[in-house]
Structure 1
Amino acid sequence: MRQYVKDGTVKKFALWNPADIGYLAAFAGAALSSGQITGAEGEKFKAGKLGEYTVGADGEIVLGPPTEFTATNIDEFNF
Protein backbone atom coordinates (compact mmCIF):
# COMPACT_ATOMS: atom_id res chain seq x y z
CA MET A 1 0.00 0.00 0.00
CA ARG A 2 2.96 2.32 0.59
CA GLN A 3 3.37 2.95 -3.15
CA TYR A 4 -0.31 3.82 -3.58
CA VAL A 5 -0.38 6.16 -0.60
CA LYS A 6 2.78 7.92 -1.77
CA ASP A 7 1.55 8.34 -5.35
CA GLY A 8 -1.85 9.64 -4.20
CA THR A 9 -3.95 6.72 -5.45
CA VAL A 10 -4.98 6.06 -1.84
CA LYS A 11 -5.28 9.02 0.54
CA LYS A 12 -5.24 6.92 3.72
CA PHE A 13 -5.97 3.50 5.14
CA ALA A 14 -6.09 2.04 8.62
CA LEU A 15 -4.60 -1.06 10.23
CA TRP A 16 -3.59 -2.08 13.66
CA ASN A 17 0.13 -1.49 14.05
CA PRO A 18 1.63 -4.95 13.37
CA ALA A 19 4.37 -4.51 15.96
CA ASP A 20 1.88 -3.51 18.67
CA ILE A 21 -0.55 -6.30 17.90
CA GLY A 22 2.26 -8.85 18.10
CA TYR A 23 3.50 -7.28 21.34
CA LEU A 24 0.00 -7.47 22.85
CA ALA A 25 -0.45 -11.07 21.69
CA ALA A 26 2.82 -12.06 23.36
CA PHE A 27 1.76 -10.52 26.68
CA ALA A 28 -1.71 -12.08 26.45
CA GLY A 29 -0.16 -15.49 25.74
CA ALA A 30 2.24 -15.13 28.65
CA ALA A 31 -0.61 -14.09 30.98
CA LEU A 32 -2.62 -17.13 29.89
CA SER A 33 0.33 -19.49 30.17
CA SER A 34 1.25 -18.28 33.65
CA GLY A 35 -2.31 -18.51 34.93
CA GLN A 36 -2.54 -14.76 35.51
CA ILE A 37 -5.69 -14.83 33.35
CA THR A 38 -7.90 -17.63 32.07
CA GLY A 39 -9.50 -15.74 29.19
CA ALA A 40 -12.69 -15.02 31.10
CA GLU A 41 -14.48 -11.78 30.30
CA GLY A 42 -13.48 -8.91 32.60
CA GLU A 43 -10.03 -10.22 33.57
CA LYS A 44 -7.25 -7.65 33.39
CA PHE A 45 -3.55 -7.94 32.62
CA LYS A 46 -0.68 -5.58 31.91
CA ALA A 47 0.87 -5.56 28.46
CA GLY A 48 4.15 -3.77 29.10
CA LYS A 49 4.43 -0.40 27.33
CA LEU A 50 0.85 -0.73 25.99
CA GLY A 51 -0.66 -0.60 29.48
CA GLU A 52 -3.53 -2.57 30.95
CA TYR A 53 -6.02 -4.59 28.91
CA THR A 54 -9.31 -6.23 29.77
CA VAL A 55 -10.47 -9.51 28.30
CA GLY A 56 -13.75 -9.00 26.46
CA ALA A 57 -16.58 -11.27 25.43
CA ASP A 58 -15.50 -14.65 24.06
CA GLY A 59 -11.93 -14.06 25.28
CA GLU A 60 -11.37 -11.22 22.85
CA ILE A 61 -8.65 -8.66 23.54
CA VAL A 62 -8.76 -5.55 21.37
CA LEU A 63 -5.58 -3.54 20.79
CA GLY A 64 -7.51 -0.29 20.43
CA PRO A 65 -8.18 2.03 17.55
CA PRO A 66 -6.27 1.27 14.36
CA THR A 67 -3.39 3.40 13.12
CA GLU A 68 -4.23 5.61 10.18
CA PHE A 69 -1.55 5.55 7.49
CA THR A 70 -1.13 8.61 5.28
CA ALA A 71 1.56 10.06 3.03
CA THR A 72 2.77 11.97 6.08
CA ASN A 73 3.49 8.94 8.29
CA ILE A 74 3.76 5.88 6.01
CA ASP A 75 7.57 5.93 5.98
CA GLU A 76 7.68 5.68 9.78
CA PHE A 77 6.64 2.04 9.46
CA ASN A 78 8.87 -0.72 8.15
CA PHE A 79 6.61 -3.54 6.99
Structure 2
Amino acid sequence: MEGHSEGIQVHKFYLSYRINGEVNTGWFYGTHIRFAKDQLLFQQPEATDLMDWTYEKSEDLRSYLLKQNASKLSVMMRLKEQPS
Protein backbone atom coordinates (compact mmCIF):
# COMPACT_ATOMS: atom_id res chain seq x y z
CA MET A 1 0.00 0.00 0.00
CA GLU A 2 2.94 2.29 -0.57
CA GLY A 3 1.82 5.73 -1.70
CA HIS A 4 -1.73 5.03 -0.60
CA SER A 5 -3.15 7.49 1.94
CA GLU A 6 -6.34 5.63 2.82
CA GLY A 7 -7.56 6.50 6.28
CA ILE A 8 -5.57 9.73 6.63
CA GLN A 9 -7.87 12.72 6.84
CA VAL A 10 -6.70 16.31 6.68
CA HIS A 11 -8.84 18.77 8.64
CA LYS A 12 -9.18 22.52 8.41
CA PHE A 13 -8.79 24.64 11.57
CA TYR A 14 -9.61 28.33 12.03
CA LEU A 15 -6.89 29.77 14.26
CA SER A 16 -6.15 33.16 15.73
CA TYR A 17 -2.64 34.25 16.61
CA ARG A 18 -0.80 37.38 17.64
CA ILE A 19 2.19 38.96 15.88
CA ASN A 20 3.67 42.11 17.42
CA GLY A 21 0.49 42.73 19.39
CA GLU A 22 -1.82 42.40 16.38
CA VAL A 23 -4.36 39.57 16.29
CA ASN A 24 -4.62 37.69 12.99
CA THR A 25 -6.84 34.80 11.91
CA GLY A 26 -6.66 32.19 9.20
CA TRP A 27 -7.39 28.65 8.08
CA PHE A 28 -4.67 26.06 8.65
CA TYR A 29 -4.65 22.39 7.67
CA GLY A 30 -3.51 19.30 9.52
CA THR A 31 -4.37 15.76 10.51
CA HIS A 32 -5.06 17.15 14.01
CA ILE A 33 -4.96 20.53 15.79
CA ARG A 34 -1.34 20.21 16.96
CA PHE A 35 -0.17 19.69 13.38
CA ALA A 36 -2.22 22.71 12.20
CA LYS A 37 -0.66 24.87 14.93
CA ASP A 38 2.79 23.61 13.96
CA GLN A 39 2.06 24.59 10.34
CA LEU A 40 1.07 28.08 11.50
CA LEU A 41 4.29 28.41 13.51
CA PHE A 42 6.31 27.17 10.54
CA GLN A 43 4.73 29.88 8.35
CA GLN A 44 4.73 32.58 11.07
CA PRO A 45 7.53 31.74 13.55
CA GLU A 46 6.92 34.93 15.56
CA ALA A 47 3.25 34.04 16.21
CA THR A 48 2.07 33.76 19.83
CA ASP A 49 -1.25 33.23 21.65
CA LEU A 50 -2.54 30.57 19.23
CA MET A 51 -6.23 29.78 19.68
CA ASP A 52 -8.52 27.37 17.82
CA TRP A 53 -11.87 28.89 16.79
CA THR A 54 -12.97 26.09 14.45
CA TYR A 55 -15.97 24.96 16.49
CA GLU A 56 -16.65 28.13 18.45
CA LYS A 57 -19.53 30.51 17.81
CA SER A 58 -18.72 33.35 15.42
CA GLU A 59 -20.08 35.76 18.05
CA ASP A 60 -17.43 34.55 20.51
CA LEU A 61 -14.66 35.16 17.97
CA ARG A 62 -16.09 38.59 17.13
CA SER A 63 -16.24 39.48 20.83
CA TYR A 64 -12.63 38.33 21.35
CA LEU A 65 -11.40 40.36 18.37
CA LEU A 66 -13.29 43.47 19.51
CA LYS A 67 -11.85 43.11 23.02
CA GLN A 68 -8.32 42.71 21.63
CA ASN A 69 -8.70 45.73 19.35
CA ALA A 70 -10.16 47.83 22.18
CA SER A 71 -7.25 46.86 24.41
CA LYS A 72 -4.74 47.77 21.69
CA LEU A 73 -6.51 51.09 21.06
CA SER A 74 -6.47 51.86 24.80
CA VAL A 75 -2.70 51.29 24.94
CA MET A 76 -2.17 53.45 21.85
CA MET A 77 -4.25 56.27 23.36
CA ARG A 78 -2.27 56.13 26.63
CA LEU A 79 1.00 56.27 24.70
CA LYS A 80 -0.29 59.23 22.69
CA GLU A 81 -1.26 61.08 25.89
CA GLN A 82 2.20 60.71 27.44
CA PRO A 83 4.37 63.81 27.04
CA SER A 84 7.45 63.37 24.86
Same fold (TM over 0.5): no
> Which TM-score applies when normalising by structure 1?
0.29
> Which TM-score applies when normalising by structure 2?
0.28
Larger radius of gyration: 2
Higher strand share: 2
> Which has the higher relative contact order, 1 or 2, with Cα contacts under 8 A spaced 6 or more apart?
1
